[in-house]
């Protein structure tokens, strides 16, 4: 029996709730790139990460204290939880912050848009999800749409961005493994508990070095806005987005939910248009339509395969 087979039909949320959760988490995550870029211009990456991880882990463990669970975590699962902590903190989020500080803001959004490809491949290998040509085509079309949007102005070509881009790509692959390895554990223990334990484990490993950087950092130029960026990344991304991601992953195929990553640049650009008055342009319209078509193809593949 697969890990997800023990979930009864009555326990599965409606498709509308799942899609609403995906839209919410992708909407919040869309702000991560410009917010992180702003905060990292004032607070160096390792100090920024230290405060973010401490705040996020503290809030998650506080929420854990307010809940009770019927199932105790088995001893054999602790190494995998520790691995999740390594993947999400040192390899994913710390490398993301370092890479984002070394490259242009739009590069992070584009590179993370490749995560559906990595998750698609890893889900086939480790979760034995069914291979669907329509799912692969949907992912590819949506990624092409993101590339169209990014190449219309968000991507800046230059050797000075190479190391930052490489570092972010490593963090993207770490996120893909965090998703795939975490799915069976989330189905067994729940999204909040696994997110809290993974982030706390990873934060504990990062704490000594992060504390050293925080103690030696010069805070004279730090603004309220920079602290606000830290708070947003801790609460908005590490708490809200991560918990919602694992919660949706509990009920959906990893390769299916991953396709929605490609909606982030579209949402971010629309927000910039509504909030900052930035022009969308023809390239955005074409790329946005391609993303929607890719999502539609992916969803159609699910419906056709349903009994």
Residue 230 lies in a domain: yes
Residues 179 and 249 sit within 8 Å (Cβ to Cβ): yes
The number of beta carbons lying within 10 Å of the beta carbon of residue 254 is 21
Residue 143 lies in a domain: yes
Residue 1 lies in a domain: no
Residue 128 clears pLDDT 60, i.e. is over it? yes
Residues 193 and 69 sit within 8 Å (Cβ to Cβ): yes
pLDDT at 119: 84
| Domain span at 107 | 6-67+74-305
Using pLDDT thresholds of 50, 70 and 90, give the confidence band for residue 306: very low
Residue 51 lies in a domain: yes
Task: Characterise 217 by phi-psi region: left (phi > 0), alpha (psi -120 to 50), beta (else).
Answer: beta
Check: pTM over 0.85? Answer yes or no: no
Residue 90 clears pLDDT 50, i.e. is over it? yes
* Higher-scoring residue by pLDDT: 132, 245: 245
Residue 293 lies in a domain: yes
Candidate ranges 29-43, 71-85, 111-125, 127-141; pick with highest mean pLDDT: 71-85
Per DSSP (E only), the strands in the chain are: none
Q: What is the pLDDT of residues 4-20, one digit of tens each?
A: 434 444 467 887 888 88
d(C-alpha 18, C-alpha 301), whole Å: 17
Domain count, the chain: 1
Using pLDDT thresholds of 50, 70 and 90, give the confidence band for residue 42: very high
């Amino acid at each position: 029996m697969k890990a997800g087979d023990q979930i009864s039909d009555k326990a599965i949320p409606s498709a509308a709730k799942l899609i609403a959760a995906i839209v919410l988490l992708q909407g919040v995550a869309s702000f991560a790139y410009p917010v992180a870029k702003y905060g990292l211009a004032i607070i160096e990456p390792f100090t920024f990460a230290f405060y973010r991880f401490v705040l996020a882990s503290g809030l998650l463990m506080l929420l854990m204290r307010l809940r009770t669970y019927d199932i105790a975590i088995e001893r054999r699962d602790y190494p995998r939880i520790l691995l999740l902590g390594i993947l999400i903190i040192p390899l994913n989020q710390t490398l993301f912050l370092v890479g984002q500080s070394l490259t242009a803001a739009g590069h992070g959004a584009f590179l993370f848009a490749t995560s559906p490809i990595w998750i698609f491949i890893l889900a086939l290998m480790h979760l034995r999800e069914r291979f669907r040509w329509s799912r692969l085509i949907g992912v590819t079309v949506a990624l092409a749409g993101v590339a169209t949007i990014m190449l219309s102005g968000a991507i800046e070509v230059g050797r000075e961005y190479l190391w930052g881009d490489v570092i972010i790509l490593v963090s993207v692959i770490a996120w893909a493994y965090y998703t795939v390895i975490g799915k069976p554990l989330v189905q067994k223990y729940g999204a909040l508990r696994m997110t809290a334990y993974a982030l706390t484990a990873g934060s504990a490993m990062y704490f000594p070095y992060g504390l050293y950087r925080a103690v030696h950092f010069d805070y004279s130029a730090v603004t309220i806005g920079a602290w606000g960026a830290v708070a947003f990344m801790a609460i908005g991304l590490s708490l809200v987005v991560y918990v919602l991601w694992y919660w949706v992953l509990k009920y959906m195929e990893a390769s299916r939910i991953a396709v929605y990553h490609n909606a982030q640049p579209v949402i971010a650009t629309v927000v910039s248009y509504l909030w900052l008055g930035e022009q969308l342009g023809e390239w955005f319209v074409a790329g946005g339509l391609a993303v929607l078509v890719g999502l539609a193809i992916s969803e159609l593949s699910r419906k056709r395969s349903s009994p």
